[in-house]
A and B are shown apart, each in its own frame.
Chain A
Amino acid sequence: MALILELCLIGIASGSIYAIGAMGFVLIYKSSGIFNFAMGEMMMIGAYFLYTGMVIFGLSLYAALPLALLASALLAAGMERWLLRPLLGQPHEVMIMVLFGAGAMLRGIAGMVWGHDILRLPEILPRKPVFIGDILIPGTLFWGFLMMIAIFGGFIVYYRFSRTGVAIRATADDQTTAECMGINIRGMFLFTWVMAGLLATAAGIVGASVNGLSPYLGNVALEVIAVVLLAGLTSIGGTLLAGAIVGVMLTLIGFYLGGAFQQFMPYLLVLLVMIVRPRGLFGTKLVERI
């Protein structure tokens, strides 16, 4: 029993990382209707930016983290401005292909620059295991989870209550009308990409702290997309619960059935969700077939 509880807690904690990535994904989808299939690679690159600052240039965390966030924000802004803006008005399939391509390029570039070996991030999150009663949780995962929850809460408050949050939601609700009300919707697209880039970096850094850093960290996108679809494409808040569900499921399956099952389970979950409940748990709109 204690073992199952332990696995569940570990699952919830790792699910929170997917949830933050998913939140960035949903943010972009809601504001501009674009499936950002490069989200996983944005997480991966963000973590490499931090690694570069801390390990290669020997900066402290407090210097390297802002720089990594800045670099990811610039990367996200560049992707919006130079990859997607020129395609405005093109069919969505084109944008999806371009983003797949961008993801593959980022993966390739990461391999060329930083190599394909699994690197260890410096110890940002304490590794010392945390005990809750008799249950043991790896330290990085525990503190990473707390960070993810703090970021999640902060973002939800911002999204719900700030004037910019209102403008993002207005743009998500009806782009043309938002523009009529004085909201610069192209500016909003750019802004949501930057926000998503920052969220991706936070999730990527925590993910890399837990599991190590390699160009294939971006494959976590599959879990992220499973979370997105389970939550329903349009639900920002739902990503947390959906993240926990996916995280618990993967941890239990990985433990009892082994890694082979764990690898294709996200696909199976996505498939089941699409068949049983295409709106996801909290979504409002029907997902367009892609």
Chain B
Amino acid sequence: MAGNILEIIDLDVGYAGGITGLAGLSLKVPAGQMVALLGANGAGKSTTLKAISNLLPFEGGRVRRGTIRFEGRDITNIPAYKLSRMGLIHVREGRRVFSTMTVHENLVAASYALGKRAALDLSRRCDDIYRTFPHLERRKNLLAGYLSGGEQQMLAIGRALVGEPKLMLIDEASLGLAPVIAAEIFKVISRINVERGISVLLVEQNAMLALRHSVHGYVLDNGRSVLDGPARDLLHDPMVIERYLGGAGVPKAAERASA
């Protein structure tokens, strides 16, 4: 197990009313690496992230069986707010900035993930975020609801960084963004991963974008992993190309990417 910051073994998740979310999912995130979860709508990608960060109780779901280990420790029953204080921070789908609060207040709210260190580290952490996202600093006193979609996604990521995560779970970072902006967001995520050594597990509709930036990929179907391998290989896998990369037109782009 050495070297894996996150390990999921044989996980079953059910929702109220007997609906199955995950059925026997296993996966690993090696420390310091970026791993992508792919799959069709309803395959269980977001459910996986919510199971890890323990958000399922908010939606009437729960882990029925299996183990989730973070840094070797079973975290299945630890409340979400404690997990974020342990360094496991979930960037939710749809950006979810606190829209009635200013950009700066969004960062202050996120300092709760620092636990007791917050009082000492808050201004240092905010400065750090503003260095990484100079754009946000210029808008620090603007209500977050007035930011553009791309800026909101930057804020959502920056806000998670306030808490000095060891592992970030990022759900659909490119959703609803123009392709240029989505590419920029992924560059930022890559940079965070490489420069700060923060491990990343991401769920993404845009499989091409995700695989190009990840080391490893899992393809989910019906709540379990049906295929996994190095991202580079998945980009050339005929099944992945056909199902998730939009068929014949795409391999050229894939070759361009790996060239």
Does B84 sit within 8 A of A, measured CB to CB? yes
Does A169 sit within 8 A of B, measured CB to CB? yes
Contact between A180 and B53, CB atoms less than 8 A apart: yes
**Count of B interface residues, CB-CB < 8 Å:** 33
Contact between A163 and B98, CB atoms less than 8 A apart: no
Does B192 sit within 8 A of A, measured CB to CB? no
Which residues of chain A come closer than 8 Å to B85, judged between CB atoms? Answer: 182
Stretch at the interface among A70-78, A171-179, A218-226, A237-245: A171-179
Q: Closest Cβ of chain A: how far from B5's Cβ, in Å?
A: 18
Contact digits for A161-196, partner B, Cβ 8 Å, 1 yes 0 no: 001001101101111111111111100000000000
Which residues of chain B come closer than 8 Å to A173, judged between CB atoms? Answer: 98-101
Which residues of chain A come closer than 8 Å to B118, judged between CB atoms? Answer: 163
Q: Closest Cβ of chain B: how far from A169's Cβ, in Å?
A: 6
Contact between B81 and A185, CB atoms less than 8 A apart: yes
Stretch at the interface among B40-48, B104-112, B131-139: B104-112
Contact between A177 and B96, CB atoms less than 8 A apart: yes
Alpha-carbon distance between A170 and B55 when the two chains are bound, in angstroms: 17
- B112 CB contact (under 8 Å) in A169, A176, A182: A182
Contact digits for A241-284, partner B, Cβ 8 Å, 1 yes 0 no: 00000000000000000000000000000000000000000001
Contact between B108 and A174, CB atoms less than 8 A apart: no
Given A163-B108, A180-B53, are A169 and B101 neighbors across the interface (CB < 8 Å)? yes
**Count of A interface residues, CB-CB < 8 Å:** 21
Which residues of chain B come closer than 8 Å to A177, judged between CB atoms? Answer: 92, 96, 98
Q: Closest Cβ of chain B: how far from A149's Cβ, in Å?
A: 25
Alpha-carbon distance between A173 and B163 when the two chains are bound, in angstroms: 19
Which residues of chain A come closer than 8 Å to B114, judged between CB atoms? Answer: 182
Alpha-carbon distance between A181 and B60 when the two chains are bound, in angstroms: 20
Which residues of chain B come closer than 8 Å to A167, judged between CB atoms? Answer: 109, 112
Does B201 sit within 8 A of A, measured CB to CB? no
Contact between B81 and A179, CB atoms less than 8 A apart: yes
Which residues of chain B come closer than 8 Å to A169, judged between CB atoms? Answer: 98, 100-101, 105, 109
Q: Closest Cβ of chain A: how far from B151's Cβ, in Å?
A: 17
Does B219 sit within 8 A of A, measured CB to CB? no
Q: Closest Cβ of chain A: how far from B145's Cβ, in Å?
A: 9
Q: Closest Cβ of chain B: how far from A83's Cβ, in Å?
A: 20
Alpha-carbon distance between A62 and B55 when the two chains are bound, in angstroms: 46
Q: Closest Cβ of chain B: how far from A174's Cβ, in Å?
A: 6
Q: Give the residues from 54 to 101 in chain B that come closer than 8 angstroms, CB to CB, to chain A.
A: 55, 58, 60, 79-81, 84-85, 89-92, 96, 98-101
Alpha-carbon distance between A173 and B113 when the two chains are bound, in angstroms: 17
- B108 CB contact (under 8 Å) in A166, A176, A179, A184: A166
Alpha-carbon distance between A129 and B106 when the two chains are bound, in angstroms: 48
Given A180-B92, A182-B115, A183-B112, are A174 and B98 neighbors across the interface (CB < 8 Å)? yes
Alpha-carbon distance between A35 and B103 when the two chains are bound, in angstroms: 30
Which 10 residue pairs of A and B lie closest in terms of their CB atoms, listed nearest first?
A182-B113, A182-B112, A170-B109, A173-B98, A182-B84, A181-B110, A177-B96, A183-B112, A179-B80, A184-B81
Q: Which residues of A come within 8 Å of B, CB atoms?
A: 89, 163, 166-167, 169-170, 172-185, 284
- A166-B108, A181-B89, A284-B100 given; 10 more Cβ-contact pairs under 8 Å: A166-B109, A169-B109, A174-B98, A179-B79, A180-B53, A180-B80, A181-B81, A181-B109, A182-B84, A183-B112
